Amino acid sequence: MTSVARFYVLIPTDLGMSGAVWTAAGRVRRFERIFLPRREDVESLIRREYPDAVPGKAGGEEASIRKMLSGQTPKFDLNLLAFERLADFHAAVLRAQVRIPRGFVTTYGRLATAVGSPGAARAVGRALATNPFPPIIPCHRTLRADGSLGGFGGGLALKRTLLEIEGVRFDRAGRVEARYIL
């Protein structure tokens, strides 16, 4: 039987320090969580939530995460994400979310319909609020029905910044312009 080890890496970005935690069993790596830049010390947060994780190197994925936080869209193998740790609905929402292209957004209600659960906008919001894989699963690309930002684990300022980096524009009221909403 192959033993499983847990690793983490800190990823400096233009927006602040990000991080990632993954498990490795032999040559198989699976990302458990990716941390957005935040005011709190990311390494302390990782050590508190994953006390058994040790520093490691994630390979090319570190560069991909850094690029995503700068608005680029590098390839990332979704098979490296530990979707199996999520409930079916949560995984379905995240898999639908990843299909929203850079520079566009959708609403919680439209995403609920896309996963076969019309009327479940709040449940979609909860699933996105607990997205363990930002920015690979770009949960910042989902808004309230009126085009306002809604919530975001990294804070609304970071959500807006990420959307602006991707070319999304806002009206004077702070809502996303309709031409960017799918």
CATH of the domain at 149: 1.10.10.10
**Domain count for the chain:** 2
Tens of pLDDT, residues 38-71 = 777 999 999 999 999 999 887 778 888 888 888 7
On average, the pLDDT of the chain sits at 91
**Quick one: 74 and 125 in the same domain?**
no
Give, for 46, the enclosing helix (H) or strand (E).
helix 42-49
CA distance 94 to 104: 16
Confirm whether 71 is a catalytic residue. Answer: no
Buried b (16+ CB within 10 A) or exposed e, 87-111: eebbbbbbebbbebeeebbbbbbbb
**Is residue 55 located within the same domain as residue 107?**
no
Total-model pTM: 0.89
**44: domain range?**
4-80
Count CB neighbours of 121 within 10 A: 20
Q: Of 139, 158, 163, 176, which one is the catalytic site residue?
A: 139
Domain boundary residue, one of 80, 110, 133 = 80
Mark whether 58 and 135 lie in a shared domain. Answer: no
Residues 91 and 31 in one domain: no
Which of 62, 80, 98 terminates a domain? The answer is 80
Residue 172 — very low, low, confident or very high, per pLDDT cuts 50/70/90? Answer: very high
**Cβ–Cβ < 8 Å for 29, 18:** no
User: Are 108 and 69 found together in one domain?
Assistant: no
Contact 73, 85 (CB under 8 A): no
Q: In this predicted model, what pLDDT tens digit does every residue of 88-98 receive, in sequence order?
A: 999 999 999 99
73 and 37 housed in the same domain: yes
Radius of gyration of the chain (CA): 16
